[in-house]
Amino acid sequence: MQHQLVARSVGTSGTPGTVTSALDPRWAALASRDGKADGTFFYGVTSTGIYCRPSCPSRRPRADRVRFFDTTTDARQAGFRACKRCRPDTVGLAQPGVEAVRRASAYLATHANQQVTLGHLGRVAAMSPHHLQRRFKAIVGLSPREYQAAVRAGKLRSSLRDGHDVTTAIYEAGYGSPSRVYEAAPTGKGMSPSTYRRGGAGMVIGYSTVSSPLGLVLVAATADGVCSVKLGDSDAALVRDLRQEYPAADIQANQQTRTDWVKAILRHLRGAEPSLDLPIDVQATAFQWKVWRALQRIPYGETRAYAEVARAIGQPKAARAVARACATNPVCLVVPCHRVVPAAGGSGGYRWGADRKAKLLATEGKRVGRL
């Protein structure tokens, strides 16, 4: 299961469309304020009417209030005005390859259901295939093939939620055959695409919302394990997010069979249970599972940089993809993505708020000092 974060996107045609930002590589760049992404896209915040560059230091907006744009012209035509803090209109295309990468990523997004060779993509972007591969990964954080796979995954989830049968959804997403999508499924416990599809109907999810030192915590679970842990300040907003992910599921409040899991998470937040080992039932790619398992191996009270996690999973060049996997973690605390921090220092961004992340790390640090 992926936590549903909906944003609006405007492509090169200027036509708006809904995307799942948790699956959109641009969301990770926005969430981490990645300066390398400046110039590759811009985002507008509907609640303020302002558009920004990805690295804008302003408070990170809610995903359901975000619209993505390829250019500042698109943003202005949609009625947004430039941010006076990050001055997005001053972003040039001075960084080598930015415009070529923008053309390539736009082409991959509109041809997600086709096999695109690197040679053909190089002709689209007007850059040699070898150089394009290097610049694409340096700027986007994924290879062209990985980026196209992420776009397909987003389309697959959208088709499943729209009620299409699994086989139809897989072919419409461009996987070519059912075996292709199962190759990307986790090898351990987790929802397969068909189980995710059943999440719309016939699936029982119990949840509880409780108070904690970090505010409200929503814990949701299936019969097989925890499928969602969310932090927030509004009970209604947390429940609404859960129902958006499984709109036709049988979602039941205060499911008593999950009380022990909820109590374990609360004890963990108080520092009384450093080791939080709960069953997880989510849908994820093999890469996401690899990253999340690595996060679970980070000792209580310690932190790791994104590059360190990338090296730990045997993919030292995948630091930005690791950051994206952290940003899409649907079961915070159970998978401790808060223990991954920027190499430059500080606690860094957090899907549930930087203040919560800093408090979590401080609590764990104090607890370790007493052990």
Residue 52 is among the residues annotated as catalytic for this protein: yes
Which of 56, 83, 227, 337 is the catalytic position?
337
Residue 332 is among the residues annotated as catalytic for this protein: no
Which of 52, 83, 227, 326 is the catalytic position?
52
Structure tokens at 20: 């799942």
Q: Among 309, 348, 315, 308, which Cα is nearest to 137's?
A: 315
Neighbours of 275 (CB within 10 A): 9
Catalytic site residues?
A: 52, 337
